[in-house]
Structure 1
Amino acid sequence: MKFIRILLKVLLGLVVFILLFLAVSLAPVDETPYQQMPYYTQTKARLAQLPAPPAAKAPLRAGWAKANITPPYSTPTGGYGARRGKHWHVVADSIFARAIVLDNGGTKVAVVGLDLLITPPTVVEALKKRLPELGLRWENVYMGAIHSHNSVGGWAPGIVGQLIAGGYDEKIVTRVTDGILTAIRDAQGNMAPVEVGFGQTDASDHIYNRIGFSGPTQPLDGMIRLLKLRKVTGESALLCTFAGHATLYEDSMWNYLSRDYPGSLVDRLEKKSADFAVFMAGAVGSTGPQARGKTDFQEIRNYAGDLALRIERTVPQIQTKPDSALAMLTLPLGLREPHPRVIGNWRVRPWLFYAVYGDYPSDLKALRIGKTVLLGTPCDYSGEFVADFKPLATQKGVNLMVTSFDGGYIGYVTPDRYYNRTTYETRDMNWFGPYNGAYFEEMIMGLLKKI
């Protein structure tokens, strides 16, 4: 009997501990409309206070360069799923930081593309300290990533960082940061006057909506978009965006370090379409790739090859013209309290989220180059939103390129009508609660109007 009494006391104590832990760790989802929240008021005020871009003082000049950031030793694989931080051991293709620097005498901007899963928030914090070495600030940098799930990991501390990118290694953060700075520095060293042009081609048949199984969805953005820069020497650079998730390697292929299909695509573009190419993931939230091939390697070759064929038909039609327009806006983004849902409509409290993930600042970015505007988001941003921006872009007479992973990472942002669907994108990866879709749209529209 004494043993039973002790056992009951232990069980009771355990139950009380669990109940107390749940009481301090969980809270109901806050469904207050975002327009009534302090973070909205603060971000809207910041948007209104963004200064008008300086006028051009000279014709547009640009330079470009890349730096190899492949580590000389094995690292965790930066990806989700069954990878779980396992180390790659085979370099299928090298990893780069690529930069295009532009200047019109009034504004100088660096456009940086990373061959990583996302732009690591730890790298962003390091860049904020070191960019002044090159005469730049974070507010003058437009970042993007290819979103390969088979690239270098080790750049994110915390439990969630461990799941996404494996064990944290500060040397990786330093290596990526150094590579970005090297690419920018080298790009600044070969700047020359450029003409600018834009083109696009449809590849909607190469993507599908991953949340489509849960109910009706709207069309995704399936356009390949191309910004072409051409020097007077004839040398050219191509910035390419597309919304297919770079997940052609299966989870079981974690042993390979690779840029997935964007790497194969860029390599081909640099052989046939331009002297230099940069790929950035477009609005990839909930967008899966439609692949063909018996092996992952065949899928990558076929997928990149077909995209390249469409681009190769489009590039000769792009007319480049002199244009001195260059403007950059960076909007620090306030957010609702963290809202990862765990049980029904209950979410973890902020202290627990920040303890396992970290608290990183996030921005929305807008960059105008000639008659093209790039809009950068700190998330997997849904391609369903892109159609909503087109009427305003047409009214303003600009072309539009929407990208994901511009800095701090806040999970997925999908249309609010899907918030209660039990899918990976809308539940597991919606980290900041309801109404983010409408909130992001309003702020991005504001940036588009200002730029």
Structure 2
Amino acid sequence: MKVVRILLKVGLGLVIIIVVFLAVSLAPVDETPYRQMTYYTQTRQRLEQLPTPAPARSLVRAGWSRVNITPPYTTPTGGYGVRRGQHWRVVSDSIFARAIVLDNGGTRVAVVGLDLLITPPTVTEALKKRLPEVGLRWENVYMGAIHSHNSVGGWAPGLVGQLIAGGYDEKIVNRITDGVLAAIRQAQASMAPVEIGFGQTDASDHITSRIAHSGPTKPLDGQIRLLKLRKQTGESALLCSFAGHATLFDGRNGDYLSRDYPGSLVDRLEKKSANFALFLAGAVGSTAPTPRGKTDFEEIRNYAGDLALRIERTVPQIETRPDSSLAMLTLPLDLREPHPRVIGNWRVRPWLFYAVYGDYPSDLKALRIGKTVLLGTPCDFSGEFVADFKPLATRKGVNLMITSFDGGYIGYVTPDRYYNRSTYETRDMNWFGPYNGAYFEEMMMGLLEKIDGRK
């Protein structure tokens, strides 16, 4: 009987510990409409107080460059959590930091593309401190990534960071940051007057909805968008965006360091369509690629090759003209409390989320280059939103490119009507609760309204 009493006490103690832990760790989802929340009011005020872009003093000048940031040693492979920090063994293709610097006498900005899964928040924080070394501030930098799931990891501390990117290594953060700064320096050294043009071509047949299995969905954004810069020498650069997830390497195949299809695409564009190319993942938050091939390498070659063919037919039709329009807006975002759901409609409390992930600032970005506006988001942003922006972009008379991974990372942002669907994108990776879709759209449209001051 004594043993039974001891076991009962131990069992009761464990139950009490579990109950207490759940009480301090979990809370019900807060479904208060976002416009009634303090985070909305603060961000809205911040949006209204953003300064008017400085007037142009000259036509746009630009320069571009890339810097190889491939580590000289093996690292974790950033991407699929199932790899549990597995290191790549073979460099299939090198990875780069790419930069385009633009200036119109009143504004200078840098567009930076990283051959990584995302723009690591740790790199963002390092750049905020070090960008003055190249004469810039974070508010003048537009970031993005190719979203390859077979690139360098090791750039994120914490439990969630380890699942996504493997064990943390500060040397990797420093290497990426150094590469970005070097690419910006080199781009600044090559600046010259440019003509600017925009083109696009459809590749909707190359993507499918990742959440369609859970119920009806709306059309995705399947456009390849191209911003062309051309110097008087004939040298040209292409800024390319597309919404296909760079997941042609299978999650079990973590042996190779690779840029996936965006790397293969950029390499081909630089041989046939431009002297320099920079790829930014578009609104990838609901998309999967439609591969064709028997191996990962064949799928990448076929996928990139078909996209390249469409681009090669489009580029000669892009008309470029001198332009002085250049403006940049950065909107720091406040968010609802962290809301990762674990059991039914119960979510973890903020202290636990920040303990396992970290607390990183995030922004929305708007960049106008000529008659094109880029909107950058700190997340996997759903392609279903893009159609909602078209009426406003048409009224403003601008072309629109929406990209993901501009700095701090907050998970997936998908349409609010899918919030209660049991999918990876809408449940596991929705980290900041309901109504984020409407909140992001409102703030992004506000940036689009404000970027050139015209109503």
2:96 is matched with 96
Mapped pair 1:179 → 2:179: yes
Name the TM-score, length of structure 1 as normaliser. Answer: 1.00
Mapped pair 1:15 → 2:10: no
> Which portions of structure 1, spanning 4 or more consecutive aligned residues, are displaced by more than 2 angstroms?
none
Percent identity between matched residues is 84
Task: Give the Å deviation of 1:202.
Answer: 0.1
Task: Give the Å deviation of 1:85.
Answer: 1.1
Secondary structure of the residue aligned to 1:93 is: coil
Task: Give the Å deviation of 1:223.
Answer: 0.1
Matches of 2:355 and 2:75, distance apart in 1: 24
Letter in 1 for 2:362: S
Matches of 2:89 and 2:55, distance apart in 1: 50
Matches of 1:28 and 1:407, distance apart in 2: 29
2:303 is matched with 303
Matches of 1:3 and 1:229, distance apart in 2: 80
Matches of 2:286 and 2:388, distance apart in 1: 17
1:241 is matched with 241
Matches of 1:192 and 1:243, distance apart in 2: 31
Number of residue pairs matched by the alignment: 451
2:52 is matched with 52
2:261 is matched with 261
1:440 is matched with 440
Task: Give the Å deviation of 1:58.
Answer: 1.0
Q: How does 1:378-393 map onto structure 2 within 5 Å?
A: 378-393=378-393
Name the TM-score, length of structure 2 as normaliser. Answer: 0.99
Question: Which deviations, in whole Å up to 9, do the C-alpha atoms of 1:9-56 show, x marking residues without a partner?
Answer: 111100000000000000000000000000000000000000000000
Q: Could you list the runs of 5+ residues in structure 1 that have no partner in the other structure?
A: none
Task: Give the Å deviation of 1:81.
Answer: 3.5
Matches of 2:206 and 2:12, distance apart in 1: 56
Matches of 1:311 and 1:83, distance apart in 2: 34
Letter in 2 for 1:146: I
Matches of 1:81 and 1:293, distance apart in 2: 24
RMSD over aligned Cα, in angstroms? 0.4
Letter in 2 for 1:111: V
1:84 is matched with 84
2:201 is matched with 201
Mapped pair 1:417 → 2:406: no
Secondary structure of the residue aligned to 1:375 is: strand
Mapped pair 1:121 → 2:118: no
1:292 is matched with 292
Quick check: 77-86 or 275-284, which moved more? 77-86
Task: Give the Å deviation of 1:130.
Answer: 0.3
Matches of 1:170 and 1:14, distance apart in 2: 39
2:154 is matched with 154
1:67 is matched with 67
Secondary structure of the residue aligned to 1:186 is: helix
Matches of 1:405 and 1:271, distance apart in 2: 27
Matches of 2:84 and 2:10, distance apart in 1: 34
Matches of 2:66 and 2:232, distance apart in 1: 21
Question: Which deviations, in whole Å up to 9, do the C-alpha atoms of 1:391-436 show, x marking residues without a partner?
Answer: 0000000000000000000000000000000000000000000000
Question: Which deviations, in whole Å up to 9, do the C-alpha atoms of 1:167-225 show, x marking residues without a partner?
Answer: 00000000000000000000000000000000000000000001000000000000000
Q: How does 1:121-140 map onto structure 2 within 5 Å?
A: 121-140=121-140
C-alpha contact 2:286 2:384 (8 A) present in aligned 1: no
Secondary structure of the residue aligned to 1:342 is: strand
1:216 is matched with 216
Mapped pair 1:347 → 2:362: no
